[in-house]
């Protein structure tokens, strides 16, 4: 899904930015064999599954995951099917799981089988669903504003294992200039677990080249000191997240979906108006936000490049 630059605003503020989804708008993005999101998710589940697949003690995600599975089958019947709880078939990938039993239906993606077999039985179906779609998933409980379950392989600079079971406000505590997010936490949790569908889009500029951006595996190297504005922009990436909420109102819960994209900055900014919007938003970021996003040392050079692109 192309990023909507209308989501880039100045002055920049850390805020919920929720909007209602239009009728018929899709919330999931099927993976095809060898897609980048699929490759990176397989690598994460093969090595760091305990940091990606997480559940708070005592929480039962069965009903919420069944609602997600039904939503996926209804939205993308060519990619996912299910004939009841405990079953899911990733049609494009040629694999299915039934009551924890892994079955192969084709030869498109042979490495999925060993990945799933290495996981505990209760996690095999959620893992297959995670591989079948580009999105990561989390469950939000509207009654408590806690996040008791996550299947997040591609985090953006945060550690899922530190967030599971925590309150919305605690999850967003490390975010710079987070007052609006923290203050609205309980209201947001109730809102997105109601009957309407909501979405938001967030963005950043990063030097890290992978969708998987767990803080323990980010390259600590700084932005290159000697690179000029053009050279720096050529090494930068535009990272976006399209986030949506699939409500399960009968449970007062919702499935939070996160679709991460990563595009070289020079390819993402193709129009002068996009460069102007990014320039003005970046120029208005506070020092705290720049530090939180790792942009302090790059800000001035990125502004120079964006200004030149806006004038071209």
Question: Is the pTM above the cut of 0.85?
Answer: yes
Secondary structure (DSSP) of 212-268 = -B-GGGS--PPPPTT--HHHHHHH-EEEEEEEEEEEEGGGTEEEEEEEEEEEEHHHH
Indicate whether 40 belongs to any domain: yes
What is the model's pLDDT at position 16?
77
Indicate whether 59 belongs to any domain: yes
Indicate whether 308 belongs to any domain: no
Structural domain of residue 60, as residue ranges?
A: 25-218+239-265
Cα 199 → chain centroid: 12
Indicate whether 161 belongs to any domain: yes
Indicate whether 224 belongs to any domain: no
CA angle 290, 291, 296 (to 5 degrees): 65
pLDDT in tens, the chain (312 residues): 578 898 999 999 877 789 999 999 999 999 999 899 999 999 999 999 999 999 999 999 999 999 999 999 999 999 999 998 899 999 999 999 999 999 999 888 999 999 999 999 999 999 999 999 999 999 999 999 999 999 999 999 999 999 999 998 888 767 766 676 667 788 888 999 999 999 999 999 999 999 999 999 998 889 999 999 999 999 999 999 999 999 999 999 999 999 999 999 999 999 999 999 999 999 999 999 999 999 999 999 999 999 999 998
Indicate whether 248 belongs to any domain: yes
Q: 8 vs 124, 176, 305, CA distance in Å?
A: 38, 17, 17
Indicate whether 48 belongs to any domain: yes
Indicate whether 153 belongs to any domain: yes
Number of folded domains that form the chain: 1
């Amino acid at each position: 899904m192309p990023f909507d630059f209308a989501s880039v605003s100045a002055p920049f503020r850390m805020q919920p930015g929720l909007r209602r989804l239009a009728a018929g708008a899709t919330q999931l993005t099927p993976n095809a064999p060898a897609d980048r999101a699929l490759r990176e998710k397989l690598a994460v589940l093969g090595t760091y599954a305990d940091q990606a697949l997480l559940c708070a003690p005592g929480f039962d995600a069965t009903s919420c995951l069944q609602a997600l599975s039904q939503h996926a089958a209804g939205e993308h019947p060519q990619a996912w099917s299910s004939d009841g709880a405990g079953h899911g078939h990733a049609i494009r990938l040629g694999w299915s799981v039934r009551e924890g039993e892994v079955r192969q239906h084709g030869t498109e993606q042979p490495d999925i089988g060993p990945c799933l077999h290495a996981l505990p039985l209760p996690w095999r179906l959620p893992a297959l669903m995670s591989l079948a779609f580009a999105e990561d998933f989390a469950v939000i409980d509207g009654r408590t504003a806690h996040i008791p379950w996550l299947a997040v392989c591609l985090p953006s600079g945060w550690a899922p294992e530190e967030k599971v079971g925590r309150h919305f406000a605690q999850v967003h505590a490390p975010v710079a200039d987070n007052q609006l997010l923290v203050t609205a936490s309980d209201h947001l949790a109730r809102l997105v677990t109601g009957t309407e569908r909501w979405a938001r889009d967030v963005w950043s500029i990063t030097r890290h080249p992978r969708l998987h951006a767990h803080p323990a595996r980010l390259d600590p190297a700084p932005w290159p000191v000697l690179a000029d504005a053009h050279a720096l922009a050529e090494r930068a990436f535009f990272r976006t997240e399209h986030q949506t909420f699939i409500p399960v109102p009968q449970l007062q819960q919702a499935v939070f979906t996160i679709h991460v994209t990563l595009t070289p900055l020079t390819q993402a900014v193709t129009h002068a108006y996009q460069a102007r919007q990014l320039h003005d938003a970046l120029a208005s970021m506070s020092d705290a936000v720049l530090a939180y996003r790792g942009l302090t040392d790059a800000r001035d050079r990125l502004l120079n490049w964006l200004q030149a692109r806006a004038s071209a």
